[in-house]
Amino acid sequence: MNKTPHTALDYGRALARSVSARHSPGSLAWNYETGLVLLALWKLSGAVDDAVLRSWVKASVDALVAEDGAIAGYRSEEFNLDQVNAGKILLELHTAYGDARYLTAASRLRDQLDRQPRTDAGGFWHKKIYPFQMWLDGLYMQAPFAVRWGLEHGDAELVDDVCDQILLAEEKTRENATGLLKHAWDESRKQLWADPVSGRSPHAWARAMGWYGMALVDVLEFLPVGHAKRPSLVAVLDRVAATVVSVRDRESLLWLQVLDQPGRPGNYPETSASAMFCYTLAKGVRIGDLPAEPYRAAAAESFASLASRNATMHKDGGASLAGICKVAGLGGEPYRDGSFSYYIGEPVVTDDFKGVGPFILAAVELG
């Protein structure tokens, strides 16, 4: 454990230094992990007024987006919501620099949503290869981007649509007895992982609920106070925040890989989800949609525990972050059944962007 006290922003800056040193502009691919970490570093650059970091983010995006707005590696015909996530940094850069190519590229992602297949209930399929399935991950990938686009371009129908999808996802994945949200919902009930009655997947995977919490606060930050959907979304955030704090591991002050299996051998405090929940709680307080008590303190003490346990500061001014679940999903080949043994059996790695990005975002919120 680290002996010298550091602020949240100290950790954020150190991790950002390592990311930018390890990945030169042009080395990153267009995917949701890249979008996540670029957005995190962009937010950090604003919080600490780091022009060099801002330039690195811009150069990294410029390596992926041509002058005509074409995005390297983007395949719209896959109807993959993950591919939309990096659109958030395009909107940030367009606002900052006014370069039309960022908006043109973002419009391609917006157009995908017009054609995205839907469940009969109106929710976007997570991907074309996952028919009739809503995954909580997908709400983070598309909703904040879509709501910001809709508000900036006068597309009220898009904003309402996406807000309704956030509400639908909670309705279909929530287990009323615990308040926890299961990883995904299969409207067709055809997947082996789907409950034959509810269509829900078996377990509450922490990172899935973390994605959903981040989507909520990011959307609420954009949504005007008087918007008709706002009270319903705030009510969902209230439920999510209360549930999240109630299931926090008492020993580590972090969140376990499988939230609905406390005390079960093999379950472990997972870094990415813990960072996501810290971000959700801290930001919910900052934007005025969660009360400061108890959520600000909960976020701060959990972040301090996470940093102490899993972040290591290096002599070169960088840092590393351990304890990150590398990946988890449902279905596919080989088939992922959503069982407890599946989730705890996935590799645990260091410095994966799915942990580093939320950790830096939480650091910015906590200062």
C-alpha–C-alpha distance, residues 259 and 263, integer Å: 10
8 Å CB contact between 182 and 202 = yes
Runs of H (alpha helix) within 174-313: 206-222, 230-246, 271-286, 292-310
Rounded Cα distance, 105 and 69, in Å = 4
Question: For this structure, is 137 an active site residue?
Answer: yes
Catalytic residue among 99, 137, 218, 289: 137
Torsion-angle region of 253 (φ positive above 0: left; ψ -120 to 50: alpha; else: beta): left
- Count of beta carbons in the 10 Å neighbourhood of residue 178: 14
Cβ proximity of 11 and 312 under 8 Å: no
Measured distance CA(101)–CA(157) in Å, rounded: 25
**Any long-range contacts for 56-62 (C-beta under 8 Å, 24+ apart)?**
56/20, 56/25, 57/89, 57/93, 58/93, 58/97, 59/25, 60/23, 60/25, 60/26, 60/28, 60/34, 61/89, 61/90, 61/93, 61/102, 62/25
Classified as helix, coil or strand, 98 is coil
How far apart are the C-alpha atoms of 211 and 277, rounded to whole Å?
9
Distance between first and last Cα of the chain: 21
- Phi/psi of residue 185, nearest 5 degrees: -135, 130
The DSSP string of 106-145 is HHHHHHHHHH--B-TTSPBPS-TTSTTEEEHHHHHHHHHH
Query: Are 335 and 192 within 8 A, CB to CB?
Result: yes
For residue 312, give the 3-state DSSP assignment: strand
- Supply the residues annotated as catalytic: 137
